[in-house]
Amino acid sequence: MIIHQLKGYIQCIYLVEYPHGLMLLDGCCRSDVKVVKAFIETVLKRPFNDLKAVLVTHMHPDHAGGAHLFRRLTGCQVVSADKNNHWYRGFNGILMHWIDVVLSIYVGRRLKKGTRNVLYSRKLKPDIKLKDGDDVPGFDEWQVLETPGHTDRDLSILHKDKNMVYVADLIIKLRTKFIVPFPVFHPNKYRASLQRIKQMKPELVLLAHGGQIKMAHEDFDHMIAHAPKIPRTPLRATIKKFKKITQRH
């Protein structure tokens, strides 16, 4: 097994290579599909349809945005958490989906990556839904862990033999600091998810924003101590900002 780390539009891409096939640990941005295709065909010298599985840890644009397009181009299976409802459901879901798309472009511009196409369906249609502790079909060295908090359906992906775990947006590393992601919809579940990963004592932690790192107990303790006690959501942030503006006048 080889794990290739690629630079996505606003996140790290982890492509897992086996002789029998390739797996993406997350669904990338829509604009990252061509990046992954070029790497598979020109660097690995393998056909694009050797991509057999694309995991979607949660529904944000840099984690789910390319999933449907990868499947259409390669025939791969899209794997996600076992949830009955869509994340972006109802009117609020439509609004939140557009906010997340705009925020992704904003981050891309801040990273000097320009504006790219990150539009994608707000409703994921997975081929396989997995529950906590299930192995990834075709890649049974890898196991999904439910680590909600950032959203209601966040997954982490554990390599059981190496005790190495991809945590998506559970932890963000910005330069030398570990920070809590935005948003955090479920603060209590978020702290519990951090505690769960800490207790596993992983040899290596793979971050969507921060690369591959080793984390000490103190790092987890810092994250848990600074985790919010109330939800941090786009709506709450907007209301808070509006109140500040009105108070000035």
Considering the entire predicted model, what is its pTM?
A: 0.94
Predicted pLDDT at 234: 76
Listed by start position, the domains of the chain span: 2-226
Interior angle at CA 135, CA 130 and CA 139, nearest 5: 120
- Please report which confidence band the pLDDT of residue 239 belongs to, taking 50, 70 and 90 as the band edges: low
Q: What percent of the chain has pLDDT over 70?
A: 94
Mean pLDDT of the chain: 95
The tens digit of pLDDT for each residue in 67-105 reads: 999 999 999 999 999 999 999 999 999 999 999 999 999
Predicted pLDDT at 233: 87
Predicted pLDDT at 204: 98
Q: What percent of the chain has pLDDT over 90?
A: 92
Maximum C-alpha span of the chain? 64
The tens digit of pLDDT for each residue in 5-57 reads: 999 999 999 999 999 999 999 999 999 999 999 999 999 999 999 999 999 99
Q: How far is CA 159 from CA 1, 2, 51, 185, 239, in A?
A: 11, 12, 18, 27, 41
The single-letter code of the amino acid at 49 is N
For 107, list phi and psi in degrees, rounded to 5: -65, -40
Half-sphere exposure at residue 126, Cβ-oriented, CA atoms within 13 angstroms: 22
- Please report which confidence band the pLDDT of residue 240 belongs to, taking 50, 70 and 90 as the band edges: low
For the CA atoms of 154, 159, 160, 164, the dihedral, rounded to the nearest 10 degrees, stands at -90
Which one of 3.60.15.10, 3.40.50.10860, 2.120.10.60, 3.30.1360.120 gives the CATH number of domain 2-226? 3.60.15.10
- Please report which confidence band the pLDDT of residue 175 belongs to, taking 50, 70 and 90 as the band edges: confident
Predicted pLDDT at 77: 98
Predicted pLDDT at 191: 98
